[in-house]
Structure 1
């Protein structure tokens, strides 16, 4: 398998990672390596921890509509938590994020529809929007002052609002950072019971 970055994820418990279901829809999980604690894709940082996936919990993902775009991955051992690797805080069940909320998303996705993949982890400040296209099981965001947004390779990564992970980077329409269409994240608060049952199983 070509060893390259293709999706992001978030550590939700020392041995469990949350990502987008479409990330692994055509891959064999046993051939995927999970890397935590990286900042650069090229340099072999001492902070890196690598894992295999031993179990996958899915929740009725629909590849046509991209509904339920969430997967929980059980790692082969617990991560060592430190200043570079930590667990995200989950929202409460059915928590809502009002339009206008300022959030942060991050990833190694392309810097534009046709652009290159960056070497260093990118962070982007985004604003929650409830534009017409947004659906109840998604949180939509935009950067409408300039053309910026999630892009190919950012899928599965976090949308963090007020210190909690409220979204999983899911899909875009049109092109990356169009400045017109919002970006779509799976709404984590709707899956809180599923997440808890996967971790506690």
Structure 2
């Protein structure tokens, strides 16, 4: 799999086009408003560029590559959103006060996880909730049905949507993946994650098992699975960051 990293490197980076970030879930559907109450939008100058998940009232989990070469003090975290453009009363906005990293390697994309400490605790309610974390080293069998979510384009050549999208995916076998990742696919049609979905959640049976990390090939091509950082392998790091 490592011989494909040169191709991957051109795909996982949040690209800027005309001052806006390209984001995308291909082949998904609009989520029911606030049905993923843990999901966050990471924004730069009010433009969404990555996702994240609330794991404690004052801590957010995202992909490490999302903040590569970016000043965390310039990033805004938005919780409780469905439409990114509307003035929804469910929205809560935060700044980042501390970043915890775990040896992310930008060449191999290993350890693609960050924990962000927010400037205050989120107000938890029916539309903003903490996601359930997996047990240490918990495994997810091939064939498990999961859901991933994020904001963005409805297709590579289609219009952008400001409404949260979701996509049902299936965990693939380990021989189609690599260590420290969970891989998923959508069978019988073209669908999958893409650029601004990075950092967003992969939730299986109510537990966040993955962080959107990278793809191989074009978005939703069906040629290769989508890759997520495996959260269960980082539980000790996560707990240490929160407890610190």
Aligning the two structures, in what range does the TM-score lie when normalised by the shorter sequence? over 0.9
State the 1:152 CA deviation: 1.2
Gaps of 5+ in 2: 1-43
> Which residue in 1 is equivalent to 2:125?
82
Q: Distance in 2 between matches of 1:70 and 1:46?
A: 30
Q: Distance in 2 between matches of 1:163 and 1:39?
A: 19
Q: 1:161 aligns with which of 196, 201, 204?
A: 204
> Which residue in 2 is equivalent to 1:199?
242
**Matched residue SS, 1:61:** coil
Q: Does 1:69 align with 2:112?
A: yes
> Which residue in 2 is equivalent to 1:3?
46
- Give the structure-1-normalised TM-score: 0.97
Q: How many residues align?
A: 201
> Which residue in 2 is equivalent to 1:42?
85
After TM superposition, list the pairs within 5 Å mapping 1:1-201 onto structure 2: 2-130=45-173, 132-201=175-244
- Give the structure-2-normalised TM-score: 0.80
Q: Distance in 2 between matches of 1:91 and 1:173?
A: 26
- RCO greater where, 1 or 2, for CA within 8 Å and sep 6 or more? 2
More helix by share: 2
Please give the per-residue CA displacement for 1:70-121, whole angstroms capped at 9, x wherever unaligned.
0000000000001110000000000000000000000013323343331100
Q: Contact (CA 8 Å) 1:106, 1:157: kept in 2 or not?
A: yes
More strand by share: 2
Please give the per-residue CA displacement for 1:115-139, whole angstroms capped at 9, x wherever unaligned.
3331100010000002644112000
Q: Distance in 1 between matches of 2:160 and 2:174?
A: 29
**Matched residue SS, 2:61:** strand
- The alignment's C-alpha RMSD in Å is 1.1
Gaps of 5+ in 1: none
Q: Distance in 2 between matches of 1:165 and 1:182?
A: 18
